[in-house]
Structure formats: C-alpha cells, structure tokens
Amino acid sequence: MSSRTLPLLFINLGGEMLYILDQRLRAQNIPADKAKKVMNDIISTMFNKKFLEELFKPQELYSKKALRTVFDRLAHASIMRLNQASMDKLYDLMTMAFKYQVLLCPRPKDILLVSFNHMDAIKDFVKDIPSILAQVDETYQQLIQIYTTLFSGEFQLIRQTLLIFFQDMHIRVSIFLKDKVQNSNGRFVLPTSGPVPCGTQVPGLIRMFSCTGKETTRLQFSNGGNYSAALREGSFEIFGDRVTKLGTNMYSVSRPVETHMSGASKNSTQHAKINTAPNPLAKEELNMLARLMGGLEVQKPGNAESGFRVNLFATDEEEEEALISRPDELSYGVIKIQATKDQQASAELAKIMGEFTESGDQSPSASSKGDDLLAMMDGL
C-alpha cells in the first residue's frame, strides 16, 4: 500500500465534487453571487494550509467512512446544504468518476496528470480571488515537489491502492451507461483501442535477439484492438498541456446525471458486511480525523435565510425515495464531528479513544470493539 495515495485521492475527488456542484447550482438557477460564494468557500476550505499539511504527511489510506466524513464536512463549508440522499449521490458520482479515470490511465504516472487537470479546473474557479488562488498554487508546488520525483513503481503502488479502495463500488451512472462504458452491473468496460502509453510501442510485434544483442527474428501477431502510436507526454508543470482529457469536466446542465444501485453491487456489499473483520486501524483513523477536522474551518451562514439547499435529484420526491431505498450497507453512517476547533475535536476524540482502550482492557470481547468504534462517533 502506498503512503502517498491520500492527497491524490482527495484532490481528484474534490475536483469531481466541484464539477458536480457547479453543474447543479447552474441547473437550479442559484443566483450567481451565491453560487460563486459556495465554490469559493469550499475551495478555500479544501486548500486550507493547516488541513493540507496533515493531508500531505505520508500515511496509509483509511476507510471509505473516514474519507466520506471529510467530504461531508467539506461540502457544507459554505451556505449550501445537502440532504443525506443528495450527499450520498454526490459522493457516489465523485467516486465512480475518479474510479473510471484511474482505470483508463494509460500508465500509472498519468494519475498525476489527471490530478493536474482537476487542479487546473479548480484554479479557474477562483482565478479572480488572489488569496484562494495563492492557496491553490501552493498545492501545485507540493504536488510537483513530491510526485514528479517518484519512480514508476511508486505510481504503480498508488494506482493499485486506489483500485483496492474502489474495488467494491459498482454504482451505475447514467452518463457512463449511455456512453456504453459501463455495464448494467456497474462494472466498467475498458477499451481495446486508442493511443498506447507514452514511451511504449503499438503491440503486435515480437523481436528476438541473439546472445550478442543482434536482432534475429521478427514475428507479427494480432493485438486484438485498434491501437495507435502514443501521443506526446503531458506537462507536469504548473502551466502546460496535460494532453489527456481524463480529469476534465464531463458534466453539463443539459446532461443530467443519475446513479443507480446494481444488483451485483447490493450483493457484494451484503457479502462484505457479513465478512467484515474488526478494523485494527480504528484508532489511527480517529487520530487522522481529529487532525483533518481541526484544519477544516467550516464557515456557518450568518443567518438562517442566507443558506440554501441543493438537490442532486430532479425533485424532492425522488430525493426522499432514494434515501429510503438506499441499501443499509451503503449508508456510510457519517461521523458527525461538530467541533470547529482542533482542540475541541481532539479532546472529544481522545475521550472516546480513552474509553475504548479502558473497555478493551476489561472486556473479553475487546477484539470486536475496533469494528464498533466508528459507530460510537455518531453520538458526537
């Protein structure tokens, strides 16, 4: 498992979240000033210096539940509010979009180009706000400094870590279904055509060499696809052509996006629930959340009338129906951390961890406590 995966996962999911919210704000005819405030507040919170310092520390990737908690808090960093069903749908769209992009990356290193495409779009959202723009530029520098020097093997580990994280998620998305890049069971269809990875050749030729290094034989074979020569390599600088379109905005007002649970996904989540083992990283997850939540300085609306609700469904009735019909296995049971200061969050989490440790020393069923620890957080 790569310890450098979390920042890339966060930035790419955050970029997809902003694409979706921008589309929904336009579709619901939210006044331009309010829509812009939502985007600015979320981006400012997302690129908060203290938050990013914690995010960029080398660490293993934690559970979906922990990550969902961060994005739930991030989505509500402004005057906008989302009901649970809409937040569920938002998170589903974010994760499935990025999962598809990871699968389509011609080579593992291209995940960084996908990240830069998201960063480019985020930068464009706040191009006229110098203070937020400076936060985004600082993150660019961190990405370049940390990731452009990694070897191919490290990027392969990052890709595998991401695919393991996404492997049980098979939510059907209308855009993917219409474009026939996703099957009815929620699994993606990978193409056997298009440009090959940069630095490689079109498959179809086997060359044999003698012990002296001289080529002796050439054999042709059918590659089973319609491949073309590699395009030029994308730029890994702050400014430049990324070449790949992965990570760019695929949403528009005229192209609504729906999500559906597939039968296969329901069965797999039920199977996962039955075989779930106690999580040995529960305390580490709580430590991470305490630090990350302390960096997320959520701004609350000055009065009740200044806030507004965004619905990711066509109607309120559809939103209510989605909430009722969503399988329990996919309800992340978001940890509600209300503290707005790092000290408050740390104190509350430390108290719960202390209680957990004490009960673990006295109870013969201590091994099962790790699995239940995050559920205890719902009371906060």
Question: Tens digit of pLDDT for each residue in 73-107?
Answer: 898 888 888 888 889 999 999 999 999 999 999 99
Which range among 198-212, 251-265, 348-362 shows the weakest confidence by mean pLDDT? 348-362
The answer, yes or no, to whether residue 342 has pLDDT greater than 70, is: no
pLDDT band at residue 326 under the 50/70/90 scheme: low
d(CA 288, CA 290): 5
Domain presence at residue 83? yes
d(CA 193, CA 223): 10
Structure tokens at 78: 């402004």
Which pLDDT belongs to residue 66?
A: 84
The answer, yes or no, to whether residue 367 has pLDDT greater than 80, is: no
Give the side-chain half-sphere CA count within 13 A for 215: 6
Domain presence at residue 172? yes
Domain presence at residue 118? yes
pLDDT band at residue 199 under the 50/70/90 scheme: confident
Q: Are 59 and 6 in contact (CB under 8 A)?
A: yes
d(CA 291, CA 370): 20
Which pLDDT belongs to residue 221?
A: 92
The residue that leads in pLDDT, 353 or 96, is 96
Domain presence at residue 294? no
- 255 three-state secondary structure: strand
d(CA 162, CA 93): 16
Domain presence at residue 280? no
pLDDT > 90: what percent of the chain? 41
Domain presence at residue 207? no
Q: Are 66 and 289 in contact (CB under 8 A)?
A: yes
Q: Are 375 and 335 in contact (CB under 8 A)?
A: no
Taking the complete model, does pTM exceed 0.85, yes or no? Answer: no
Residue 103 CB-density burial (10 A; 0-12 exposed, 13-18 middle, 19+ buried): middle
Q: What angle do CA 120, 308, 318 make, to 5 degrees?
A: 90
The answer, yes or no, to whether residue 9 has pLDDT greater than 50, is: yes
Domain presence at residue 265? no
Which pLDDT belongs to residue 340?
A: 41
Domain presence at residue 271? no
d(CA 238, CA 138): 10
* Interacting residues of 7 by C-beta distance below 8 A, sequence separation 6+: 52, 55, 56, 142, 143, 146
The answer, yes or no, to whether residue 111 has pLDDT greater than 90, is: yes
**Amino acid present at 217:** T
The residue that leads in pLDDT, 283 or 223, is 223
Burial string for 14-36 (b: 16+ CB within 10 Å, else e) reads bbbbbbbbbbbbebeebeeeebb
Q: How many CB atoms lie within 10 A of CB 342?
A: 18
Q: Are 126 and 136 in contact (CB under 8 A)?
A: yes
Q: Where are the alpha helices (DSSP H) in 76-147?
A: 84-104, 110-125, 130-147
pLDDT > 70: what percent of the chain? 69
> pLDDT, tens digit, for every residue of 206-238?
999 999 999 999 999 998 888 988 888 899 998
Number of structural domains in the chain: 1
Q: Domain limits at 188?
A: 5-192
Structure tokens at 53: 């310092």
